Structure 1
């Protein structure tokens, strides 16, 4: 079995569009949530969202490459550029080692809706444009990144709701661990446009604390009233330890455990048993007891039921050791398909810089969250081993464990 290490990370999120910006936002407990006027005009129940700058890729990519990129693909291209740079990769290394790509993505709503609108209005499919099909497919991110960066290894998209990004990293980890790949560019991407969130808004799952955008996302707080959607992209480059050492790559951390499960119950209502199975599986895969986990980046999205069940699951597994816990979604909102990857980046930035980011807006813990050791302020702490949770609709669960390489 090969050891699997992280050699590069990149981020494009509402906390910042570079690793340095995001690190500072995490340390400061800075929220990226805003009031979106476009959502209000469209009749959304909640106009809140995480927001990022629109990338300007003209002059960086040629026209053929640009027209095939959906919104989330643009974010993913920039986060991957950053990750490749800090992993010290170049075209020759990528080609020689047959790097693959696995990204979590579960929608491409804007491209589909815009193409449909043109067809309905113009009654002429040729007016949709040649790039539309590549933007509208769920695999839009991986097909574009594989083409732009000339990747020759594994190439597919992981569609697992809000655990997509985490599962992408987990699958890449398994492929490298079992010797099927030397390196994989993993990650998650999420479009931010209102089209992608209209049906979620219709379910009344979003916070309506519209007069206090930065205080709306409040995981584990007794007075939480729903999540806040967000998006962007995160890239995590993973390699075999042997490959990384051979080429003198920076080793940021080692992935030592991946656990997954399905709740086997309601399509949208979580339970305790499913997450517990994923948590326990990740610990078994890592070969460590729960007591060695220093920090847990919780999935907690700020929904009344979801946070409750995760708190119970965490207490069930970690009740005896009580590691520090926080949900970075308190600052970012729920980055959906990207969250499992971005939260690995956020957690790794904490590990590298010896701090635990705060679970902001936690003023009154409820009965279940009161049992956890939740960081409500930034805590300066050495983190040797951490765990990150990601759960999603349909009852899909993923837990990843990272260890500092000394």
Structure 2
């Protein structure tokens, strides 16, 4: 029999803030975390816009040995996971003596690879790279560092699925627990913020060039959008079986009630409406969730013409034009590998605090966005159930449904 799966802790380290309270306030106020980065412009970027969060100082928290294998994704992920564990009432002593897993979404560690290669190119000696580089360079850098630091004993793998990585990581954690294979899994997504990681996207003309007004540049669903904004950081949710959460007396923040996935099987970068609809339908099937029970949709919409329009059509096909929709990427930019996890945190914060965060910069709808209910200003509203979409290159689609905790 399938077990109920709940969220008992969450943490966030993003351009909207580095704590739950900061991020909640930014969401409510509709504040943008996008900046103009002169370093990118000097580097040769067409667009120097980015979401920005400072690299954390981990010296007070971790030993030098623990830090040496960490670069941006792992550093950000440690910070968000530290928050989540505190909220869930978990510590290393407990984790070391129980079977707790970790599944994190991450799809690049570009900067650390470039730094190691540059050192060899300059010095002509690979022995000068340093012993920590290998652990920084691997895509599994978040999992290998956190699982070691936290002394985890359960499932341990990195999920790489482009911009759906964080969402699929939570979905896989949900499946592990619901099938009785784990009682507890630390899930999330991490994304590095540096020019090395994003130059190829910039070279394709993917990013907005509205550099004169960074806060207005990310415009999901708006007719006048001209591209997405890269961003990053990390987000973590602690998933546990309902029974284990009750046994521990842990806080129950939300319940995961659906996970849907699909592959478009077509173009490597262009979205597919049919695939998106299949993922959303699958998520609703798990607990027989009806379309009229979805109170809010956190859209994947990244501020690109093809992507936003496709999702708007998929939402309209399945839900019609009434359900409130917003894309928090209007404030954060596209957090890429972490987005599917951070948007779960953002949506839980809205659900806890009875508001729907705005899709800022939505001024002129296009033909497709005009048919759905885009929330352009913060709305004070109680809601009990939300859907979060995440779609990635290669045609990978993920949809998660969470609701307020019940008996």
How would you bin the TM-score normalised by the shorter chain? over 0.9
Q: Deviations over 1:203-248 (max 9, x none)?
A: 1000000101000000000000000000000000000000000010
Q: What does residue 162 of structure 1 align with?
A: 163
Contact 1:99/1:183, CA 8 A, preserved across alignment: yes
| Structure 1 residue 96: Cα displacement | 3.5
| Structure 1 residue 405: Cα displacement | 1.0
Q: What does residue 118 of structure 1 align with?
A: 119
User: Alignment partner of 1:26: what SS?
Assistant: helix
Matches within 5 A, 1:97-108: 97-108=98-109
| Cα distance between partner residues in 2 of 1:13 and 1:292 | 30
State whether structure 2 residue 45 is matched by structure 1 residue 60: no
State whether structure 2 residue 304 is matched by structure 1 residue 325: no
Q: What does residue 229 of structure 1 align with?
A: 230
| Structure 1 residue 285: Cα displacement | 1.3
| Cα distance between partner residues in 2 of 1:97 and 1:63 | 26
Contact 1:69/1:144, CA 8 A, preserved across alignment: yes
| Cα distance between partner residues in 2 of 1:89 and 1:28 | 31
Q: What does residue 371 of structure 2 align with?
A: 371
Matches within 5 A, 1:349-368: 349-368=349-368
| Structure 1 residue 59: Cα displacement | 2.6
Across the aligned residues of Structure 1 and Structure 2, the Cα RMSD in angstroms comes to 0.8
Contact 2:255/2:403, CA 8 A, preserved across alignment: yes
Matches within 5 A, 1:210-289: 210-289=211-290
| Structure 1 residue 60: Cα displacement | 1.6
| Structure 1 residue 95: Cα displacement | 2.9
| Cα distance between partner residues in 2 of 1:59 and 1:130 | 22
| Structure 1 residue 70: Cα displacement | 1.1
Q: What does residue 147 of structure 1 align with?
A: 148
| Cα distance between partner residues in 2 of 1:92 and 1:183 | 15
User: Alignment partner of 2:220: what SS?
Assistant: coil
| Cα distance between partner residues in 2 of 1:180 and 1:62 | 33
| Structure 1 residue 357: Cα displacement | 0.1
| Structure 1 residue 122: Cα displacement | 1.1
| Structure 1 residue 90: Cα displacement | 2.1
| Structure 1 residue 54: Cα displacement | 1.8
| Cα distance between partner residues in 1 of 2:284 and 2:56 | 39
Contact 1:226/1:302, CA 8 A, preserved across alignment: yes
Matches within 5 A, 1:184-223: 184-223=185-224
Q: What does residue 383 of structure 1 align with?
A: 383
Q: What does residue 77 of structure 1 align with?
A: 78
Q: What does residue 401 of structure 1 align with?
A: 401
- With the length of structure 2 as denominator, give the TM-score of the two structures: 0.99
Contact 1:97/1:182, CA 8 A, preserved across alignment: no
Q: Deviations over 1:48-67 (max 9, x none)?
A: 00000220111321111111
Q: What does residue 302 of structure 1 align with?
A: 303
| Structure 1 residue 403: Cα displacement | 0.9
Contact 2:166/2:189, CA 8 A, preserved across alignment: yes
User: Alignment partner of 2:223: what SS?
Assistant: coil
- Unmatched segments (≥5 aa) in structure 2: none
User: Alignment partner of 2:330: what SS?
Assistant: helix
- With the length of structure 1 as denominator, give the TM-score of the two structures: 0.99
| Cα distance between partner residues in 2 of 1:268 and 1:162 | 11
| Cα distance between partner residues in 2 of 1:7 and 1:276 | 29
Q: Deviations over 1:332-382 (max 9, x none)?
A: 000000000000000000000000000000000101001111110000111
- Unmatched segments (≥5 aa) in structure 1: none
**Higher deviation after alignment, 120-129 or 134-143:** 120-129
Q: How many residues align?
A: 405
| Cα distance between partner residues in 2 of 1:388 and 1:286 | 16
Q: What does residue 314 of structure 2 align with?
A: 313
Contact 2:96/2:150, CA 8 A, preserved across alignment: no
Contact 1:286/1:401, CA 8 A, preserved across alignment: no
| Cα distance between partner residues in 2 of 1:9 and 1:140 | 20
| Cα distance between partner residues in 1 of 2:280 and 2:81 | 28
**Higher deviation after alignment, 58-67 or 129-138:** 58-67
